[in-house]
Amino acid sequence: MGIPEEILNGVMGKLLTKPEELSLHELELNMKSNQPVLKASKKNIEIAETQLTLGKRQAIPDINVSAGYKRLTLENLDTVQMGIEIPAPFFNRNQGNIQKGKALSRKAKSENLSVYNELLFQLKKNFNSYNVERKRVIEYRDKILPKAEESLKLITRGYKEGEFDYIDLLDAQRTWAETRISYIESLKNLNLLIADIERLAVVKIGGQ
């Protein structure tokens, strides 16, 4: 009754049934290093910082030093004259581009922090849900499902020996089937969470 056994086994064969214990710290480190969205955001910071550096370099004036020989006729003297040429205005040179570069840099850093916080929020949320679902899967796998299977075996044997009636057998079969389906549903939820965590942290989660 219920879902055919071959379908149940086929579904379970595609799901990870022995999930490993995860470390949020390690997942976060992987996310920082490997998450493509964060990499793109950091690249925007690098571009903005490069533009700002170029703007500051362009603000440095080209100071020209000149030297010349001149003879003072009245004094009958030979002199060397030195001169320094500074372009004007000196203090306002390229300030517009520098301020623009600073604004772009602040914006890029703010966007990077916003992206990181959102990814971390999603990672923590899925991590917490994973731990809850992982405990549920282990409880079903190691306790609830074996108990339902053992009960079905005992009642089936007792039914054949006349100790239980047909209603008892049907009830045991229904309980076992419902428990199996609940277990598979929990496995499915767990594997969906694993897929989300792998996408966010850019890791491969092991298990069987």
| Structure tokens, 204 | 């491969």
Give 131-175 pLDDT, tens digit per residue: 999 999 999 999 999 999 999 999 999 999 999 999 999 999 999
Q: Is omega for the bond preceding 89 within 30 degrees of 0, making it cis?
A: yes
* Domain count across the chain: 1
DSSP 69: E
Q: For residues 117 and 44, what is the distance between their CA atoms, to the nearest angstrom?
A: 17
The reported pTM is: 0.70
DSSP 21: P
Evaluate whether residue 208 is within a structural domain: no
Q: For residues 208 and 12, what is the distance between their CA atoms, to the nearest angstrom?
A: 11
Q: For residues 155 and 159, what is the distance between their CA atoms, to the nearest angstrom?
A: 6
Range of the domain at 187: 5-201
Evaluate whether residue 206 is within a structural domain: no
Residue 54's pLDDT is what? Answer: 74
Q: How many helices (H) and strands (E) does the chain have?
A: 6, 2
Give 47-63 pLDDT, tens digit per residue: 878 876 776 666 555 55
Give 87-141 pLDDT, tens digit per residue: 555 445 566 667 777 777 888 888 989 999 999 999 999 999 999 999 999 999 9
3-state helix/strand/coil string of 158-189: HHHCCCCCHHHHHHHHHHHHHHHHHHHHHHHH
Evaluate whether residue 137 is within a structural domain: yes
